[in-house]
Amino acid sequence: MRQRFQDLDWIGLALWVFRAVIIVLIIWGTVATLIENPYSARQWTDIIIFGIAQGSMYALIAIGYTLVYGVLFMINFAHGEFFMSGIVTATVLVTTPMAATGFLNRQPILSLLIIGLVAVIVSVGVSLLTERIAYRPLRKAPRLVPLITAIGASFFWQYAFRGLFGSQVIPFPVPDQIRGTVSLLGTEVLKTHILVIITTIIMLVGLQLFIMRSRTGKSIRAVAEDKDSAALMGIDVDRAVSITFATGAAMAGIAGLLYAMVFTQVHFFMGFFPGLKAFTAAVLGGIGSIPGAAIGGLLIGLFESIGPILFLEGVGVPAPHQLKDVIAFTMLVLVLIFRPQGILGERLAEKKA
């Protein structure tokens, strides 16, 4: 691969120029912002904690990409829809009636557990259905065929849920008990942000234990290593793949609940961009690696919330918040160009991508 383009060094040169321009922009912007420093320490902490909370959600979603890529070497484009489906269903069918009857505020913990459970069940159901219909028959097909069905599945689920629950933005009622802020290390932090971060840590640790210690986790890793040998060892490959999808979707379902609590609304299109960013996170951390997904998610979340202010405002971009998605996508492009194996990944990209 490296020799491949050796005769055309100008491409390497062009990429270096590209990289240098970005780095100069970032440094220039950062320095300019820091010299001017229009924000107070309180605002910076808010921004950073919001970034961590958002990054936690990306990390949870990224797990699904990483697991599926690790096992099937395919980008599950529809994963963002698994994230959306659970929480949209749970909001309409469970949360709204609970809020109407007042149950939500009487039993906030129990309510959130029920909502989370419904979201996870729906997300897992959607993922299993997608895997069974759109991916499994094509497992031996040329690589781009399942990618195309994944794109199809993504649009199918988006518009199916739009048809089911309507195209409007649906408010997500948050229990009174988790509204407001608490003081932590001298600053006021939103309770929801703390809840998000703690839940994510618990989920990630649990997942790591499940994959590394349990029998099922072992079978998933065996299938990821080599499907045919795993089958010969008596592992049901289809079942392992289904469990992989279900695990990723369960994480996405929880992430959906966290998203709804932070942004207090859900929508049929809400899965698309978080999905793409979580994919970026998975690639950034090293696709196929669970700690990588966590780190990548955190970094993307932080960059996205700090980036516009830190890099862009200093350069003199008006209304830099409009460009926060550009930062995420630029990161994706940069990572895929310059370090496709990611931070923690092995050199997967060359072998299999």
Partner 1 sequence: MSNNNRFDVSLPIKYGLIAGVVALFVSVIGMVALFAERDLIAGVLTLGQVILFLAPAALSYQAASKAPTGKNGTALLYGAITGFVAALPLISLIYVYTLIDLRQFFPNVSPSLMEILTFGQGPGLGSLILLVVSTVLGLVSAGLYLLPDKYRRPIMSGLVGTLVVGMFSEILTERLRFFFGARFVAIVITSKALRPLTALFIFVVVTAIAYWWIQRGEQARERLTQRTTARDPRMRWIGIGLLIIFFLILPLLLGTYLSEVVNNVLIFALMGFGLNIVVGFAGLLDLGYVAFFAIGAYTMAILTSEGALGVGGLSFWLAVPICVLAGVIGGLILGVPVLRMRGDYLAIVTLGFGEIIRILALSDLLKPYIGGAQGVLQIPKPTIVGLDLIKPDQFYYVVLIGVLIAAFVSWRLSGARLGRQWMAMREDEDVAEAMGIKLVNSKLLAFAIGASFAALSGAIFASKLTSIFPHSFNLLISINVLCLIIVGGMGSLPGVIVGALFLVGLPELLREFAEYRLLMYGVLLIVMMLVRPEGIWPSAVRRRELHVYEQDDSARRPAAEPLPKAETREPGMEGPPHL
Q: How far is the CB of 312 from partner 1 (least distance, A)?
A: 9
- Site for partner 1 contains 234 (CB under 8 A): no
Number of neighbouring beta carbons within 10 Å of residue 300? 31
- Site for partner 1 contains 317 (CB under 8 A): yes
CA distances from 230 to 138, 155, 227, 246, 300 (A): 19, 33, 5, 19, 35
- Site for partner 1 contains 232 (CB under 8 A): yes
Burial class (CB in 10 A: 0-12, 13-18, 19+), 91: buried
Q: Determine if residue 187 is left, alpha or beta; phi over 0 gives left, psi from -120 to 50 gives alpha, anything else beta.
A: beta
- Site for partner 1 contains 140 (CB under 8 A): yes
Task: Kindly indicate which of the ranges 31-39, 50-58, 128-136, 172-180 contains the residues binding partner 1, using the contact rule CB under 8 A.
Answer: 128-136
Q: Which of 265, 329, 251, 260 is nearest to 293 (CA)?
A: 251
Counting residues that bind partner 1 (by CB under 8 A) gives 69
CA distances from 299 to 55, 121, 141 (A): 7, 29, 34
Number of neighbouring beta carbons within 10 Å of residue 26? 16
Task: Kindly indicate which of the ranges 13-21, 171-179, 208-216, 298-306 contains the residues binding partner 1, using the contact rule CB under 8 A.
Answer: 13-21
Q: How far is the CB of 179 from partner 1 (least distance, A)?
A: 25
Pick from 35, 102, 144, 185: which binds partner 1 (CB under 8 A)? 144
- Site for partner 1 contains 22 (CB under 8 A): no
Q: Per the structure block, which two tokens stand in for 26?
A: 């970032």
Q: Which of 346, 328, 348, 327 is nearest to 281 (CA)?
A: 328
Which x/- pattern, by CB under 8 A, does the window 151-190 give for partner 1?
xxxxxxxxxx--xxxx------------------------
Task: Kindly indicate which of the ranges 107-115, 186-194, 211-219, 224-232 contains the residues binding partner 1, using the contact rule CB under 8 A.
Answer: 224-232
Residues within the interface to partner 1 (CB under 8 A):
1, 4-5, 8, 11, 14-15, 18, 74-75, 92-93, 133-134, 136-149, 151-160, 163-166, 227-228, 231-232, 236-239, 276, 279, 283, 317-319, 322-323, 325-326, 329-330, 332-333, 336-337, 340, 349, 353
